């Protein structure tokens, strides 16, 4: 999805190829941050990249990091965080494409959300207060504020 946003058309088959996967992968445990960053760098024209890790989803520091990245390149980037299913039991690391950020909200394209209507996001994270420091609008999961959160930082050639 991010590759398409920066002008590199990407199909599902292309994405599977980036990670050496077939259409059916029952033993696949998922891609690491290194795998994701390397796939993005290998398909795009970026000079360097790294993941900026945050020990928890602190809305102020994550949104500041994202704003800095978006201002630098004027292109979307990836955000990973711990997601908790609405049943409260299922937890996973989830990755979305951050497209707009303010001090109060983060607009993303989320593969778990409904298709976006036009050139906007389909899920929004809003700054909240304890006990819900991040509110999710447009999807049924919640953000685990205690999970490690990462922003893909990169520089275009």
Where the chain has pLDDT below 70, the residues are 1-9
- With tokens 């205690």, the residue in question is 146
User: Kind and range of the H or E element at 142?
Assistant: strand 142-143
Q: Does pTM top 0.85 for this prediction?
A: yes
The residues, any chain, with a CB within 8 Å of residue 122's CB and separated by 6 or more, are 108, 109, 110, 113, 114, 115, 116, 138
Q: Is residue 22 part of a domain?
A: no
> Containing domain of residue 95, as a range?
48-156
pLDDT at position 51:
97
- The CA radius of gyration of the chain, in Å to the nearest whole number, is 15
- Average pLDDT of the residues of the chain: 87
Q: Is residue 87 part of a domain?
A: yes
Q: Is residue 94 part of a domain?
A: yes
Q: Is residue 23 part of a domain?
A: no
Render pLDDT for 48-81 as a digit per residue (tens, 0 to 9): 999 999 999 999 999 999 999 999 988 899 999 9
Q: Is residue 115 part of a domain?
A: yes
pLDDT at position 114:
84
Q: How many domains does the chain have?
A: 1
Q: Is residue 43 part of a domain?
A: no
pLDDT at position 101:
97
The sign one gets for the Cα dihedral 13, 108, 76, 32 is negative
Q: Is residue 16 part of a domain?
A: no
The residues, any chain, with a CB within 8 Å of residue 39's CB and separated by 6 or more, are 18, 19, 31
Q: Are 66 and 79 in contact (CB under 8 A)?
A: yes
Q: What b/e sequence results for 13-35 when a residue is b if at least 16 CB atoms lie within 10 Å of its CB, and e otherwise?
A: eeeeebeeeeeeeeeeeebebee
Q: Is residue 14 part of a domain?
A: no
pLDDT at position 29:
84
């Amino acid at each position: 999805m991010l590759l398409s946003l920066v002008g590199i058309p990407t199909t599902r088959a292309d994405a599977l190829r980036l990670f050496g996967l077939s259409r059916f992968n029952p033993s696949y445990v998922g891609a690491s941050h290194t795998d994701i960053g390397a796939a993005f760098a290998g398909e795009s024209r970026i000079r360097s990249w790294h993941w900026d890790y945050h020990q928890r989803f602190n809305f102020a520091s994550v949104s500041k990091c994202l704003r800095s990245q978006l201002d630098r390149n004027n292109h979307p980037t990836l955000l990973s965080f711990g997601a908790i299913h609405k049943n409260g039991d299922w937890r996973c690391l989830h990755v979305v494409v951050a497209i707009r950020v303010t001090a109060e909200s983060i607009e993303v394209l989320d593969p778990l959300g409904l298709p976006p209507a036009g050139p906007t996001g389909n899920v929004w994270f809003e700054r909240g207060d304890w006990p819900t420091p991040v509110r999710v609008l447009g999807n049924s999961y919640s953000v685990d504020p205690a999970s490690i959160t990462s922003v893909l930082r990169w520089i275009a050639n």
